[in-house]
Structure 1
Amino acid sequence: MTTRLPRRRLLAAMSGTALACAIPTGWAQAYPGKKPIKIVVPYAAGGSLDAMSREVAARLQTQLGQTVVVENKPGAGTMLGTQTVARAEADGYTLLIASSSFVSATVFYRKPLHKISEFAPITQFANDNHMIVVNPAKVPVSNLSEFIAHVKANPGKISYGTAGTGTSPHLEGEEFAQLAGIKMLHVPFNGSAPGVTALVGGQIDAMFDAYTSAGPHVQTGRLRAIAVLGANRLIELPSVPTVAESGYPSYVRGAWDGLLAPAGTPPDIIDRLHAAMAHVLKDPQLLAAWAKRGLEPIGSSPAEFSAFLQQQLAINEKLSKSLGLQLD
């Protein structure tokens, strides 16, 4: 037997249902529920950003009282994993750990797989110092000047690896090659870890990479750091000068790291995640570990991060014109 509601009661019930669906606040207040939160890292496991992501995820789990898992999804110059998050439900349960390539990919690729507008910024949580490292058995140089001379003596034969095509290390390498008037062969990998493995094994000659991933091998002597790309020398490598100190004062580069959600994620969920990240970035153990790896904590607000992304977009558009670089 079917029970029919009077028209007035039926309309009231429908109105209440529509109102509940239209207001996300009550739903967001229950965030996070029992569903695990997934953080997508668009690089292979074992690299600099992957290590940072797992450190952040472990602490976010404590702050949110909910399971937080990291999923590595490399490919297409970081755009594969990025696109996955753009297409995910905007409920706060699928997030993206992004780096500088998040913006550069939208500029340097002819057909990018994502747009900045498809994401809701949460926070820029760090800046990551990069450096130029070589395999000393293949490239017997001690400083940047010797490296440039070596490359000029072997035009087009010296290879440099990066975390992927269109990533910040790739652009750093292209820009430096243009500035120094040298020609190198770019070899992209799906993240820092496989690139460092290839460099240690002698499959490539050099690498533009973060201290986080290449640093341990520098400390053991298997790799040699010849220049730091940032404005300051690294605490762990005080004898290694910056590129700016080595004769190229205009060249100061590095990468940023941030957390984003799909566009349309309710503001109160964004605020909840930002507040949790603010606590994460106060962890003294984390800060001490990052300082040793040349990482600078930031902790910007969603609005500040949004403005920063637009600034980075303008910088990349200018760089695209100067390099004349377009990727398929």
Structure 2
Amino acid sequence: MTHSPSRRNVIAALGAAAAASYVPAAFAQKYPDRKPIRLIVPYAAGGSLDAMARELGTRLATVLGQTVLIENKPGASTMIGSQQVARSEPDGYTLLVASSSFVTAPMVYRKPLHKIEEFAPITQFGFDNHLIVVNPSVLPVNNLAELIARAKANPGKITCGTAGTGTSPHLEAEEFQQMAGIKLLHVPFNGSAPGLTNLVGGQIDMMFDAFTSAGPHIRAGKVRALAVTGANRLAELPDVPTVSESGMPQYVRGAWDGLFAPAGTPPDVIARLHSAVTEIIKDPQLKQTWARRGLETVQSTPQEFQRFLQQQVSITGKLVKDLSLQLE
């Protein structure tokens, strides 16, 4: 167990980690050469990040000429998987595929299982637009106005699932409640897949989740999308408005996705991995495939990703404080 670090210490440590982790890829000619690369996904199989990790893994195996294995390690709001990577040998053979919860979870818990400075950022590769979805059979509302009205009439009774306590969907739900002046009953899961199973089955009323995982259920008519949390409507759901269009103009949220190695990983290995992922992300076919799922591809150097993480630490820290979110 570790104690929650201050934002200043986290930012300083991130700067040191990134500065030591980027040199030209030409120095990485010997990597990888001896064993499979493991991509640790801190969520249950079947969710948005899991799908992205599997596509990245398949393409990384081709680019690097090395077997890439995907291992799902859900639990403790993604910190079980993160902790495993932090404790791994810093040799480039155990990597973490993480989302915004990588930053939020250590700030929400008093005794987090990992510290952000235990990792070397490699690159941000995506941004995940989220949705507010309901099971229309148990929560027959057609838009956010109806949802908010029903929630105000039944405070604390509408059940809202997320991918876990301290994850980005959880913070999105908490901020939504604060801005809408309502109270929902939070039901955390170990990833979006089990949450969606419960939503479709009627065990919970609604959920904040990614289009990647919720999309098939929306198309099948099993769940209804009320709003997009991001800045723009999704091409696949042109009739679904954003939250900001639905009366909450300041609400624009989503989740970033990125790749990390344990702190102390050789700079040439970081550079080789960054080069490989950048090559993959540039592929027009991948961009098109992800766009259909509400995903945006992102390219960043380790230094750019580190600066982005610094911003996220500051933003998330303020949000956690404003919402008084502190868990054991």
Normalising by structure 1, what TM-score? 0.91
1:314 to partner: Cα distance: 0.3
Give the counterpart letter for 2:178 in structure 1.
Q
1:106 to partner: Cα distance: 1.8
Instruction: Tell me, yes or no, if structure 1 residue 321 matches structure 2 residue 321.
Output: yes
| Secondary structure of residue in 2 paired with 1:233 | coil
- Pick which of 304-313 and 28-37 moved more: 28-37
| Secondary structure of residue in 2 paired with 1:209 | strand
- Please name the residue that 2:82 is paired with: 82
For 1:50 and 1:97, the matched residues in 2 are separated by: 9
Q: Cα RMSD over matched residues?
A: 1.3
Q: What does the per-residue CA deviation read over 1:127-158, in whole Å, with 9 as the maximum and x for residues that have no partner? A: 00001000000111110000111111211110
1:115 to partner: Cα distance: 1.0
| Secondary structure of residue in 1 paired with 2:244 | coil
Answer whether contact 1:98 1:258 (CA < 8 A) is retained. Answer: yes
Structure 1 stretches lacking a partner, 5+ long? 1-24
Instruction: Tell me, yes or no, if structure 1 residue 112 matches structure 2 residue 117.
Output: no
Answer whether contact 1:28 1:266 (CA < 8 A) is retained. Answer: no
For 1:317 and 1:160, the matched residues in 2 are separated by: 23
For 1:199 and 1:288, the matched residues in 2 are separated by: 28
Give the counterpart letter for 1:185 in structure 2.
L
- Pick which of 218-227 and 28-37 moved more: 28-37
Answer 1 or 2: higher relative contact order, Cα 8 Å, separation at least 6: 2
- Please name the residue that 2:127 is paired with: 127
| Secondary structure of residue in 2 paired with 1:131 | strand
Pairs within 5 Å for 1:202-281? 202-281=202-281
Give the counterpart letter for 1:280 in structure 2.
I
- Please name the residue that 1:14 is paired with: none
Instruction: Tell me, yes or no, if structure 1 residue 167 matches structure 2 residue 162.
Output: no
Answer whether contact 2:231 2:252 (CA < 8 A) is retained. Answer: yes
Give the counterpart letter for 2:159 in structure 1.
S
1:284 to partner: Cα distance: 2.3
Give the counterpart letter for 2:81 in structure 1.
G
Give the counterpart letter for 2:244 in structure 1.
A
Q: What does the per-residue CA deviation read over 1:231-272, in whole Å, with 9 as the maximum and x for residues that have no partner? A: 000000000000000010000000000000000001110000
- Please name the residue that 1:301 is paired with: 301
Answer whether contact 1:43 1:190 (CA < 8 A) is retained. Answer: yes
- Please name the residue that 2:102 is paired with: 102
Q: What does the per-residue CA deviation read over 1:189-231, in whole Å, with 9 as the maximum and x for residues that have no partner? A: 1001000010000000000000000011111111000010000
For 2:86 and 2:31, the matched residues in 1 are separated by: 20
Give the counterpart letter for 2:260 in structure 1.
L
| Secondary structure of residue in 2 paired with 1:245 | helix
- Kindly report structure 1 stretches of 4+ aligned residues shifted beyond 2 Å: 25-29
1:285 to partner: Cα distance: 2.2
1:34 to partner: Cα distance: 2.8
Give the counterpart letter for 1:216 in structure 2.
P
- Please name the residue that 2:91 is paired with: 91
- Please name the residue that 2:156 is paired with: 156
Give the counterpart letter for 2:246 in structure 1.
S
1:282 to partner: Cα distance: 1.7
1:28 to partner: Cα distance: 5.1
Q: What does the per-residue CA deviation read over 1:69-102, in whole Å, with 9 as the maximum and x for residues that have no partner? A: 1000000010000000000000000000010000
Give the counterpart letter for 1:143 in structure 2.
N
Instruction: Tell me, yes or no, if structure 1 residue 291 matches structure 2 residue 291.
Output: yes
- Please name the residue that 2:22 is paired with: none
Instruction: Tell me, yes or no, if structure 1 residue 181 matches structure 2 residue 181.
Output: yes
Answer whether contact 2:33 2:66 (CA < 8 A) is retained. Answer: yes
1:27 to partner: Cα distance: 9.5
For 1:197 and 1:215, the matched residues in 2 are separated by: 13
Structure whose alpha-carbon radius of gyration is higher:
1
Answer whether contact 2:119 2:262 (CA < 8 A) is retained. Answer: yes
Q: What is the number of equivalent residue pairs in this alignment?
A: 304
Give the counterpart letter for 2:156 in structure 1.
G
- Please name the residue that 2:201 is paired with: 201
Pairs within 5 Å for 1:4-15? none
For 1:175 and 1:125, the matched residues in 2 are separated by: 25
- Please name the residue that 1:67 is paired with: 67
For 1:233 and 1:86, the matched residues in 2 are separated by: 37
Structure 2 stretches lacking a partner, 5+ long? 1-24
Answer whether contact 2:43 2:78 (CA < 8 A) is retained. Answer: yes
Alpha-carbon distance change, 57 to 86 in structure 1, aligned in 2, over 3 angstroms: same
